[in-house]
Structure 1
Amino acid sequence: MADRALSTPLDDSFERYLQDKGKGRGGDGGNYRRNAARELERFAEWAAGDRGGWPGIVTDDEDRVPTFSDLDERVFREYARHLAGDRGLKQNTVQTYYRYISAWCGWCVNEGYLEAHYAQRASAMAPLPEDDGRKPGDQQAWTSEQRHALTRYVDEHAREAIETYTTLPDDTDPLDRQRARYEALKAARDRALVFVIAYTAVRVGELLRDPNDPRRRGVRWEDLSLDEGSMDVYRKKQQWDAASLPDPVISPLRSYRKLMDPPAERWPVFPTLDQRTLSALVQDELADRGERSDAIAQRRDEYARDLLLALDEDIRPESITTDGARSILQRLSAAADVNVNDAKHDYLAPHGGRRGMGEVLVRAFGYTVAARYLDNSEEMVREHYSHIEAGELGDVATDALDEIDA
């Protein structure tokens, strides 16, 4: 190995590594890049002695930053011990954080910075905690009762809001009519979102906007074909693909689209309703179109909500984010009084909708069909839903014992 590589400061390699692992043009996006960058920064601080009272990996008599010449399996063993000693971290979180550093170490071997993958050696990993035993079947999956409770609530709420709006008397004040339309739009959006999450098994990151990945801008109306029952999404495998829209999803989407009447097909299906975001968007766009501030203020005063002005002027907002969807589901789970018994979430989380449909599909049609619908390999689906097969094998064993003992 070249001396130049050994004398390279650790953080000099970070940006190249993150670009290789990032998504989008130039490798600037993606959740993995963001999370890996955070853990690499923590590792660099620890190595320099800037975290937790640790003196660092450079001896006291040397005034320099840590370099690759300082790394060996003992260093990674100490870092594993440092992570495991953080009492605020769960066992699987410690494992996850260490994997980010281990992946970087492997990359450094391939790039010629290190001669061996020290982080993967048994002695380096020894201080890491054992897996906490959490099985795939222990992770949240919406039960049929939970799915029905939530979808029934949002359906009834949307129907009431739409009926209130569409049956207003002709002499209703214009602003009151707009307020009723906005409430109907919000309820219809929430219903459509819940039904899509509950029945399509599409990953929420494929459905909505991810601020860290510019390619994931959220589905638009142009991506939906309600007549054919399909929706184009940008899959986890980094390519566009068609996802199925089963029958329960079609009616909520049709009703919602009719109510919204989007001015262009490029409008997001699930736009943000955040007032501050929409206020800034409307004012900036109208100013860019040459309108004066007093005229803009007057226009906004004519509308109960900026979303309605945006619809009339075709000022396209962004889609809600994946975090926004979690907030919506928290609110709706509480409003629907859904009973959620989960150690991690006290609400019906988006990933639980996907896993819930996975359970339904595996039990009804087997692993092969479920894998196609979930856009996963059959091997991965078998791993994620291994508890189902274990239960079925248990039933087989019980039947066999009953027959022998009969």
Structure 2
Amino acid sequence: MNRRASGDRGDRPIAATFDRYLQDKGKGRGGQGGNYRRNAARELERFADWARGDRGPDDWDGIVAEADREPAFADLDDRVFREYARHLAGDRGLKPNTVQTYYAYVSAWCGWCVNEGYLSAHHAQRASATAPLPTDDGRKPGDQQAWTPEQRHALTRHVDQVARDAVETFTTLDEDTDPVDRGRARYRAIRAARDRALVFVVAYTAVRIGEVLRDPDDPRRRGVRWSEVDLDAGSMEVYRKKQQWDAASLPDPVLGPLRRYRRLLDPPSDRWPVFPTFDQRTLAGLVQDGLADRGLRPGEIDDRRGEHARDLLLALDADLRPPSLTTDGGRGVLRRVTEASDVTVDHPKHDYLAPHGGRRGMGEVLVRAFGYTVAARYLDNSEEMVRDRYSHIEAGELGDVATEALDDVDF
């Protein structure tokens, strides 16, 4: 297949531009973070593999006639992207909106290449190139779960009871209880109280989980700290999706679990994360490295660790600040408490109450109670986006109006 030259840079391998593109699109210092960067990197590598002939049907040899040459910009034209769209839309079990999303990553890179002078035209956006793509149904994959009021109440009741039992067990121990056994009970109580607080935050604040927990791919999202929580004012400062700090509301149902959890945790400073990780390997490395930095020898460190039932308790005692629970860890907590509860979950993608479902469920409550404008402010979204996302509510209300109108008509 003959290709049109792409200016003076036509011989440059397409993969040689990926790092620069990802740096431009990444977040944080040096553009090294962000979910978009991670997802785009994955899809660009898949595109490069396909262009080389490493992906696709058995008879696919790639877009380069010479076997010993990397795909270059001179090899790209509308037909290449049309074939890639056809490849993505093939019978591989991908949903239409997923195909659209995957293609969009490659298309965005193609647009960047035009701006940078590597390509003379945005081939990926030509009508002939996008024709094989399936029609997007307008839904985002996996983003349709919404906690019902019954699910919200059942899950919060469950974690509340678990926390109450664990705290009561700890606070009613005999005075002569072995210190290590007392430490184990305290650890279980702290963990249960943390899980309760997290579930209540997800259930009632409508914050995005990446706004309160740590995202390993974005250094700016290191998890909310106690210094950013004002329990008296009922608010906390979070780093929003719009890339700026903003206040999020803490409604009354959340304040009690947070207050009781903080009293039990008793963090040595306000710089501690509200939701620290409980991962044992992470905490072990934290206390070993932290105590070594303070001049303790290995034997002394082992003695200190032996005095505490868990490394988290030693970290609290020595003020060795752990990292926050990650977003994946938060999803793991919600999966674990959902499975331990009697909550029924019927969803094609998620077999547990996922974080975005808590946010979406709270959005349903707000739209129905106060309308789209107030809901948009609480959800930190535009009113247009909220109207689009919750359009089924307005449609139902209009249906009720139509029914009432029909009832009033005298036939």
Common topology (TM > 0.5): yes
- Flag the 1:133–1:383 CA change in 2: closer, same or farther, 3 A: closer
Q: Which residue of 1 aligns with 2:13?
A: 9
Which residue of structure 2 lines up, in the alignment, with residue 318 of structure 1? 323
Equivalent residue of 2:409, what SS?
helix
SS of 1:183's equivalent? helix
Question: How far is the alpha carbon of 1:138 from its aligned partner?
Answer: 8.1
What CA deviation, in whole Å up to 9, does each residue of 1:4-50 have, x standing for no partner? 22222111221221111111121110000010011111111111112
Report the equivalent of 2:279: 274
Q: Any gaps of 5 or more consecutive residues in structure 2? A: none
Show CA shifts across 1:280-320 (max 9, x none): 11111111211111111111111111000000000111111
* Structure 1: segments with no counterpart, 5+ residues: none
Query: Residue 283 of structure 1 is aligned with which of 280, 288, 304?
Result: 288
Residue number among 98, 104, 107 corresponding to 1:102 in the alignment:
107
- With over 3 angstroms needed to count, the CA separation of the structure-2 counterparts of 1:142 and 1:360, relative to structure 1, is same
Q: Give the one of 177, 181, 185 matched to 1:176.
A: 181
1:79 to 77, 81, 84: 84
Distance in 1 (alpha carbons) for counterparts of 2:265 and 2:24: 41
Aligned counterpart, 2:46 = 42
Alpha-carbon contact 1:221-1:267 (below 8 Å) kept:
yes
Are the structure 2 counterparts of residues 2 and 93 from structure 1 closer, same or farther at C-alpha, using a change threshold of 3 Å?
closer
> CA separation in 1, counterparts of 2:281 and 2:320?
15
Question: Aligned partners of 2:395 and 2:169: how far apart in 1?
Answer: 50
Residue 300 (1) aligns with residue 305 (2): yes
Assess, with a 3 A threshold, how the Cα gap between structure 1 residues 237 and 133 changes in structure 2: closer, same or farther: closer
Gap change, CA 1:39 and 1:137, over 3 Å in 2: closer
d(CA) in 2 for partners of 1:136 and 1:89?
10
Residue in structure 1 matching 2:167, options 162, 167, 170: 162
- Aligned mates of 2:221, 2:142 — CA distance in 1: 29
RMSD of Structure 2 on Structure 1 (CA): 1.7
1:68 aligned residue: 73
Residue 3 (structure 1) shift: 2.6
CA distance in 2, matches of 1:321, 1:103: 28
**Number of the residue aligned with 1:27:** 31
Report the CA distance shift for 1:295/1:139 in structure 2 as closer, same or farther (over 3 A). Answer: same
Aligned residues of 2:15 and 2:48 also touching (Cα < 8 A): yes
The corresponding residue for 2:395 is: 390
Q: CA deviation at 1:136?
A: 9.7
CA distance in 1, matches of 2:298, 2:143: 55
Q: Distance in 2 between matches of 1:47 and 1:182?
A: 53
Structure-2-length-normalised TM-score: 0.95
Alignment TM-score, normalising by the size of structure 1: 0.96
Following superposition, the deviation at residue 160 of structure 1 comes to 1.1
Report the secondary structure of 2:41's partner residue: helix
Structure 1 counterpart of 2:341:
336
State whether structure 2 residue 234 is matched by structure 1 residue 229.
Answer: yes
Tell me the distance in 1 between the aligned counterparts of 2:110 and 2:69.
Answer: 21
Counterpart position of 1:126 = 131
C-alpha distance 148-171 of structure 1, shift in aligned 2 (>3 A): same
Q: Distance in 2 between matches of 1:27 and 1:257?
A: 35
Conserved? CA contact 2:143–2:356, under 8 Å: no
1:369 aligned to 2:389?
no
1:56 correspondence with 2:55: no
* C-alpha displacement of 1:137: 11
Instruction: Name the SS of the counterpart of 2:350 in structure 1.
Output: coil
Secondary structure at 2:145 match in 1: coil
Letter in 1 for 2:7: D
Describe the SS at the equivalent of 2:247: strand
One-letter amino acid matched to 2:34: G
**CA distance in structure 2 between the aligned counterparts of 1:319 and 1:231, rounded to whole angstroms:** 16
Deviates more, 1:121-130 or 1:348-357: 121-130
Deviations 1:346-402 (A, max 9, x none): 100000000000000000000000000000000011111111111111111112222
Larger mean CA deviation between 314-323 and 100-109 belongs to 100-109
* Structure-2 separation of matches of 1:135 and 1:321: 23
1:121-176, Cα deviation, whole Å (9 max, x unpaired): 22211222233565899810000000000000111111111111111111111111
Q: Distance in 2 between matches of 1:49 and 1:333?
A: 44
Number of equivalences? 405
> Which one-letter code corresponds to 2:35 in the other structure?
N
Identity %: 76
Deviates more, 1:85-94 or 1:286-295: 85-94
Distance 2:141 2:371 in 1: 17
2:198 aligned with 1:193: yes
In the alignment, the residues of structure 1 paired with residue 166 and residue 272 of structure 2 have an alpha-carbon distance, to the nearest angstrom, of 22
Greater CA drift, 179-188 or 51-60 = 51-60
Q: Give me the whole-angstrom Cα distance separating, in 2, the residues matched to 1:327 and 1:193.
A: 12
Instruction: Sort the Cα spacing of 1:99 and 1:218 in 2 relative to 1 into closer, same or farther, 3 A.
Output: same
> C-alpha separation between the residues in 1 aligned to 2:201 and 2:55?
44
| 1:136–1:385 CA contact under 8 A, matched in 2 | no
CA distance in 1: counterparts of 2:90 and 2:210, whole angstroms: 33
1:140 corresponds, among 126, 138, 145, to 145
More deviation in 275-284 or 189-198? 275-284
